[in-house]
């Protein structure tokens, strides 16, 4: 499992020019699953998301977690995170989990997160427009292959 985490001042996701989810201060999380991902991978990523100290404290030092600031998460599925660009100019997405299985994993991951923090999502498999106001900018990649 791989995620790209962006600290956000405000963000939203549109489908067919209609806003389906939005957050104020929090995290935008782009998530992708690969074959072999399991519950333990989701738990690892969830713990990291909830405890990463990437929000400023009173002295401007990144010392607070999303839970500390009362933020929320905008979670968006993005199968392109496992793109393989080693050969040619057209990326291969063979490492990304198949659609139906990935959808099931995404729903389970969304449920886990939402039990711990306000979580909003895009629409799995849809063509989405993301409007992200990256705060900092702060962008972090977390990959369970490197845990």
CATH numeric code, 2-146: 3.50.80.10
Among residues 47, 44, 66, 45, the alpha carbon closest in space to that of 55 is found at 66
**Residue 6 catalytic?**
no
- For residue 72, the cross-strand partners are 26
- Mean pLDDT over the full length of the chain: 97
Q: How confident is the model at residue 146 (pLDDT cuts 50, 70, 90)?
A: confident
Average pLDDT for 6-28: 98
Q: How many CB atoms lie within 10 A of CB 87?
A: 8
For 77-119, write each residue's pLDDT tens digit: 999 999 999 999 999 999 999 999 999 999 999 999 999 999 9
CB 78 within 8 A of CB 126: no
Instruction: Establish whether 55 is a catalytic residue.
Output: no
Q: For residue 21, say if its preceding peptide bond is cis, omega within 30 degrees of 0.
A: no
Reduce the DSSP state of residue 78 to 3 states and report it. Answer: coil
**Catalytic residue of the set 34, 78, 110, 144:** 78
pLDDT band at 11 (very low <50, low <70, confident <90, very high): very high
Q: Is the pLDDT of residue 50 over 90?
A: yes
Catalytic, 79? Answer yes
| Active-site position among 79, 110, 119, 144 | 79
């Amino acid at each position: 499992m791989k995620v790209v985490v962006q600290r956000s001042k405000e963000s939203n996701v549109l489908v067919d020019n209609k806003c389906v989810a939005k957050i104020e201060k929090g995290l935008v999380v782009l998530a992708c699953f690969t074959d072999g991902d399991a519950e333990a991978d989701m738990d690892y990523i969830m713990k990291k998301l909830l405890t990463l100290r990437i929000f400023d404290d009173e002295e401007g030092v990144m010392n607070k977690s999303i839970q500390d600031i009362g933020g929320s998460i905008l979670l968006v599925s993005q199968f392109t995170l496992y793109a393989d660009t080693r050969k040619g100019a057209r990326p291969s997405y063979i490492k990304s989990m198949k659609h139906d299985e990935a959808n099931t994993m995404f729903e389970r991951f969304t449920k886990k997160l939402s039990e711990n923090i306000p979580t909003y999502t895009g629409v799995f498999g849809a063509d989405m427009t993301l409007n992200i106001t990256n705060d900092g900018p702060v962008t972090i990649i977390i990959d369970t292959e490197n845990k």
